Amino acid sequence: MSVAPLKNDVFLRALMRQDVAYTPTWLMRQAGRYLPEYNATRARAGSFMGLAQNPDYACEVTLQPLERYPLDAAILFSDILTVPDAMGLGLSFAQGEGPRFAHPIRDENDVAKLAVPDMSKLQYVFDAVKVIRRELDGRVPLIGFAGSPFTVACYMVEGKGSDDYRLIKSMLYARPDLLHRILEINAQTTALYLNAQIDAGAQAVMIFDSWGGVLADGLFQQFSLAYTKKVVDMLTRDREGRRVPAIVFTKGGGQWLESIAGIGCDAVGLDWTVDLAAARRRVSDSVALQGNLDPIALFGGEAAIRAEARRVMDAFGPVGHGGHIFNLGHGISQFTPPEAVAALVDEVRTYSPKYHGSNT
Amino acid sequence: MSVAPLKNDVFLRALMRQDVAYTPTWLMRQAGRYLPEYNATRARAGSFMGLAQNPDYACEVTLQPLERYPLDAAILFSDILTVPDAMGLGLSFAQGEGPRFAHPIRDENDVAKLAVPDMSKLQYVFDAVKVIRRELDGRVPLIGFAGSPFTVACYMVEGKGSDDYRLIKSMLYARPDLLHRILEINAQTTALYLNAQIDAGAQAVMIFDSWGGVLADGLFQQFSLAYTKKVVDMLTRDREGRRVPAIVFTKGGGQWLESIAGIGCDAVGLDWTVDLAAARRRVSDSVALQGNLDPIALFGGEAAIRAEARRVMDAFGPVGHGGHIFNLGHGISQFTPPEAVAALVDEVRTYSPKYHGSNT
């Protein structure tokens, strides 16, 4: 594949803890329902999966936030549930109800039938990556992503979202062998999936462990982190003459930061409950940190947004040999006013240089 | 009030980090829907508030788990939302929908009208405490409780449960003065409320900060912990010739353990994401710790329940000059099989003595 040279590599450099002139920014779920243009494209696509499975639509919505805001990275528009869908679990999105699987994994028979799917079933994702890379034309890097083996297993076992994760945790406590088997298949699949995204052009990858934080201490390490590590271990790390950095984000995982930082990833995502100053000290700048504004701070009006953004940057402090990627601590709310994002991105761009390079 | 001498003070002694022969146990929401006898009483009472507002029914359900299991404490059957109900916010429980307030607090006018309610509006709670103390007849101590000022404010502003706490956080970011005013009123009210429970016979009190964990680091300390501290500062600490210990539980608050332990409470409740061994080290046994089994471990079958209970006790280790009260890390699930609780309580009672006194 012939690709345009990268014009803005601030995000990739920050992930590698290299010198940059300012703190790069992107936002989890930046291509989403808070943008009217996203809703318009989605209406044309007919459904969420219609959007995700059509490379041209996926490209269109991926690029939309970049047209509005000077963000430093694009992230593939897709969903972590494409993987279990490819495994044959029958994903659907009921109106206003979130995702559901027709064939959840509940018992020994279900687990026995589960297998690593052929990656050709996810070709639409890799095609989207290729189209997006072409259309990005080197403006900013493109992030590929997947759910963590445990997080994807939550949906596979519960069959939908859950308040208490009773079904998957019951399996964990009563039949850990079954859950380990699911997690092993998920880890193998996720590594193939992310590597195919990297082959198609993803310049960094992120693993979303959205639900690892619901596990007990000790069990998080065994049932979530160990399998995320397996994925990280299998990742292609060099493409197009550059390192492909890997970011791991466990929502609610602040207490396990040192362990997460130790699995071989380049960066750890943090939610807003974590003090970035303490987090840096705990990992001794051995990884970059991504985060961690409360997404609801975007509802506070411009002055509060700017003040809260500065509070995050001040907590990280002079970047030195660390690496900071500004982000929210969770996906942006669908109710966010688009102008709030403009204020946020502007504040990070104008305030952060004082913490970089010869300015520090 | 003439009261029976306390026959089992293991819970109160453990809270004070005094020597005990075994680790005491009680379970958050131990009087609840997982018990058929609770459901029968609730059916007779007609509704949740019918149960909570009738001292005889409240007493009946409070005692039910003690009839089944050798627990070391009773906890008043009530709800943290009795307080905003007494403030005139109009609490109701819609069928299958959880609590709702007819008059949520959203703007400056709503806040201006808010005031510390007359405690006579909560007389039914204090009457329930008296009836329960009489019927307990000194078997085990009775715990009184309230929500933290911030947690109660969440319901007052949102008007019901929330996924993202968008309304209260919008107020926090945009109009912190309004939220501080609500929190001040809540703190004053909560102190009066808990002291009236203590006057009526509560022998320990617990403050449930169920939602403080949704706040950003820095803001948790200002908007939740500071007001919980105000309550603790105002508490009556001696009654009937004994210390009335105070327990503070912030769900998701493990990262702030040292700060929580520093507000003058006797014990800190912890959820299951926290390693009790690390937690003890962090607070140097300056407070007792309560917790922290994942409530969903009760779905794993007897062998797993016993193993997970031992894992909690092993993490705490030899109790020495510390204090450990065994509990779940959150309220018991309504779907819990009652026999699971029997296995849990038995395991703690039979396994824990090795970690106490001359056995260590």
User: In order of start, what are the domains of chain B with their CATH numbers?
Assistant: 10-359 (3.20.20.210)
Q: Flag if A218 and B275 touch (Cβ within 8 Å).
A: yes
Contacts of B308 in chain A (CB under 8 A): 173, 216
List, as one string, the DSSP characters of A132-152.
HHHHHTTSS-EEEEEE-HHHH
Q: In 3D, which of A72, A63, A31, A5 has the Cα closest to residue A323?
A: A72
Per-residue pLDDT at A285 exceeds 80: yes
Residues ≥6 apart with Cβ < 8 Å to B10: B20, B21, B22, B24, B72
Pick from A53-57, A161-165, A292-296: least confident: A161-165
Share of chain A above pLDDT 90, in %: 94
The per-residue pLDDT of chain A, averaged, comes to 96
Minimal-distance CA residue of chain B relative to A163: B163
A287 Cα to chain B: minimum distance (Å): 20
pLDDT grade for B230, boundaries at 50, 70 and 90: very high
Long-range CB contacts for residues A306-314, cutoff 8 Å, separation at least 24: A306/A343, A306/A344, A306/A347, A306/A351, A308/B173, A308/B216, A309/A344, A309/A347, A309/A348, A309/A351, A310/A347, A310/A351, A311/B218, A312/A276, A313/A23, A313/A348, A313/A351, A313/A352, A313/A355
User: Could you give the CA distance from residue B346 to residue A269 in angstroms, rounded to a whole number?
Assistant: 41
Q: What is the pLDDT of residue B2?
A: 59
Which of A167, A250, A294 to mutate to test binding with chain B, by most B CBs within 10 Å of its CB? A294
Minimal-distance CA residue of chain A relative to B271: A216
pLDDT grade for A96, boundaries at 50, 70 and 90: confident
Taking the Cβ of residue B161 and every Cβ of chain A, the question of whether any pair is shorter than 8 Å is answered with no
Residue A85 is encoded by which pair of tokens? 């869908």
Give phi and psi for A98, each to the nearest 5.
80, 180
The owner of tokens 């329930």 is B128
Taking the Cβ of residue A241 and every Cβ of chain B, the question of whether any pair is shorter than 8 Å is answered with no
What value, to the nearest 5°, has the Cα angle with vertex A329 and ends A324 and A333? Answer: 135
Taking the Cβ of residue A3 and every Cβ of chain B, the question of whether any pair is shorter than 8 Å is answered with no
Per-residue pLDDT at A299 exceeds 70: yes
Q: What is the pLDDT of residue B360?
A: 59
Q: What is the pLDDT of residue A255?
A: 96
Per-residue pLDDT at A263 exceeds 60: yes
B276 Cα to chain A: minimum distance (Å): 9
Taking the Cβ of residue A284 and every Cβ of chain B, the question of whether any pair is shorter than 8 Å is answered with no
Stronger pLDDT, A127 or A161, i.e. the higher one: A127
Per-residue pLDDT at B358 exceeds 90: no
- Options A9, A17, A22, A42, the catalytic residue: A42
Minimal-distance CA residue of chain B relative to A308: B173
SS3 A97: coil
pLDDT tens digits along B309-330: 999 999 999 999 999 999 999 9
Residues of B annotated as catalytic are 29, 33, 42, 79, 155
Contacts of B213 in chain A (CB under 8 A): 273
Q: Flag if A174 and B252 touch (Cβ within 8 Å).
A: no
Tell me how far CA of residue A197 lies from CA of A86, A103, B86, B278, in angstroms: 15, 26, 57, 39
Q: Which of A170, A254, A301 sits opposite B174 (nearest CB)?
A: A301
Minimal-distance CA residue of chain B relative to A274: B217
Q: Element (H or E) spanning B247, and its range? A: strand B246-250
Mean local confidence (pLDDT), A52-62: 97
Secondary structure percentages of chain B, helix, strand, coil, to 5: 50, 15, 35
pLDDT tens digits along B168-211: 999 999 999 999 999 999 999 999 999 999 999 999 999 999 99
pLDDT grade for A93, boundaries at 50, 70 and 90: confident
The owner of tokens 């701070």 is A297
User: Could you give the CA distance from residue B141 to residue A244 in angstroms, rounded to a whole number?
Assistant: 59
pLDDT grade for A2, boundaries at 50, 70 and 90: low
SS3 A129: helix
Q: Flag if B173 and A308 touch (Cβ within 8 Å).
A: yes
pLDDT grade for A232, boundaries at 50, 70 and 90: very high
Residue A351 is encoded by which pair of tokens? 């305030």
Q: In 3D, which of A185, A223, A211 has the Cα closest to residue A105?
A: A185
Told to judge if A33 belongs to the known catalytic residues of this protein, a careful annotator would answer: yes
Say if residues A232 and A205 touch (Cβ distance below 8 Å). Answer: no
pLDDT grade for B359, boundaries at 50, 70 and 90: low
**pTM score of the predicted model:** 0.96
Residues ≥6 apart with Cβ < 8 Å to B134: none
Q: What is the pLDDT of residue A359?
A: 64
Mean local confidence (pLDDT), A304-310: 98
Contacts of A172 in chain B (CB under 8 A): 300
User: Could you give the CA distance from residue B271 to residue B156 in angstroms, rounded to a whole number?
Assistant: 25
- Options A34, A57, A155, A227, the catalytic residue: A155
Q: DSSP letter at A222?
A: I
Q: What is the pLDDT of residue B1?
A: 52
Long-range CB contacts for residues A158-166, cutoff 8 Å, separation at least 24: A158/A104, A159/A100, A159/A101, A159/A104, A160/A97, A160/A98, A160/A99, A160/A100, A160/A101, A161/A98, A161/A99, A164/B295, A164/B296, A164/B333, A165/A211, A165/A214, A165/B296, A166/B296, A166/B299, A166/B333, A166/B335
Contacts of B293 in chain A (CB under 8 A): 216
